[in-house]
Every structure is written in structure tokens, then in C-alpha cells.
Structure 1
């Protein structure tokens, strides 16, 4: 497997851990001194920080486990990433990728069964977030780890 593909796999593991709300799995992808920032778009190529940076994999794990809203029954999310730009320089690398997050909500099966003629998936899928992941990585003990991660959101965020 090429180094570029290994780096792309780190992002694939990251988004799957996010979708599963798996803080431990996501935190393991970061170094102890990694810096994670969430930024919201305020204008063309202009972003404003949302909240304080997270420092290290343990902080990432804590944030996922304690601040991300759990999925409701029948609910999940799915990240899609694309247009990966990867630059490898020895044991350091940079990855930039676009992302879209889809919210899924399964329809509850009616007690008397699906209506006549119902076919296919029953429920709703809708896009809820988009932006870019701008990520610095370093090879540590032969494995790529995230040392800097910026989530560049296309929309503002609210926390309540």
C-alpha cells in the first residue's frame, strides 16, 4: 500500500469513528500533542474559530464521547470525503479533502407492515454539513498519526 493510501485510510478511520461516535477509536488516530481546530466560514476563504482548540488524542476522545449528540433510535450519519490532495515529505504529510455529512433516519416499520407498494429503503437521508478537512500527519513508530487537524466548515455552528 502506498504512503498516500495509508494517509487516506487515516481519514477514512476518522470519519467512521465520527459517524459511530467512537471517541476512543478517533482519539487513537491523533498524537498526544495534536492540535484540533474547528473553523466556520465567514466569507470567501475566511474562517472564524469555533470554540477552543483540542490538544491531543485524549481530548479528541473526550469531545466525541461527551459533546457530540448521540444518534436517535433509527438514526445515523455518514461522511463522504473526496478530492483528496495528499503531499508526503518523508515522515510528514499534509492531507486536504472535501467532506459532506449525511444524516439518516430510518422510518419505523408500521405495526401492520409496510403499505402496499412500498419498496426500497424507508426513511430519510439529508445533507447536514460540508467543508474541508485540512490535516497534518506524522509517521510515529511506522504509523501515520494526525498532528494538526482543521475542520473548515462551510456554515456557522451553534452550541447550546
Structure 2
């Protein structure tokens, strides 16, 4: 019987993620975020600028810079960060979202998952280009830089 008890206890512990996880969300009601892409992509042909934005820091982070929303010759849309883009990557990555407004991404996602659209993960400063998957740009007014680990916005850029 003792030989069976240890394996059963081990299976029970391993099957309980909260016991093994050192980091958990502060709000269990937050719907799972969409999976962002990683790395930059190369647009094809001439680019047309659709919207621009200036990133304002949020939550005490140094996230700043300029960005543009562009369309390439293949009619694909991208978030293009300028050379002056800077953020704090102490958590490893920051997720770029298109959003209805500059409020907390987690709160917007809990209110209605269609309020936000994940674009990509960013983990370095400077010029980068990220594909906006499956269109839908017209319903969003802001680009938000969000830290999933800390559940806070790092910065936001209203689009003009």
C-alpha cells in the first residue's frame, strides 16, 4: 500500500499547476490571451501609411517612441515601430495589442474579447515591423504595449 501511495501523491501534485507555478495571474477571470507571433516580418513592395501614433509610457515604464500602421503591396497591414522605440523588457517580452482604447488590456479583454487584438511579442528596442493578422484594423483606435506577466500596460499610442 505504501508503494502505491507515493506515486499517487506525485501524480496529484504534478497534475495541479498552481502548486508548481511560481507565477500566477492576479485575476483568474481574465480570458486567455491570444497567442502572439514573434519576430519581425518584411513587407512587400511600397508601403502606404494608414495611421500614426506616439507612444506614451504607462505604469511607470519608459516605453516611448513613434509607430505607424502601414499596408504593403500585398494588402497586408503591419505595425511598424520607429528607430526611437524604447521599452523595458525586464519580464522578457511585451505584447503589442490593437485596442479600443488605452485602458488596461486585461480589463478590456475581460469586458469583451473583441476589444483587443494581439499583434506580436516585442523584446528589443528600435525599428521593427510586425504583421497584423487577419485585418480588422478599422475597429481599433490604439496600439497598446502590455506585459502579460505583470498584467499592466507599458505604453499606449492613440492612432491618428
TM-score range, shorter chain: under 0.3
TM-score (norm: length of structure 1): 0.27
TM-score (norm: length of structure 2): 0.27
Q: Which structure carries more strand by proportion?
A: 1
Q: Which has the larger radius of gyration?
A: 2
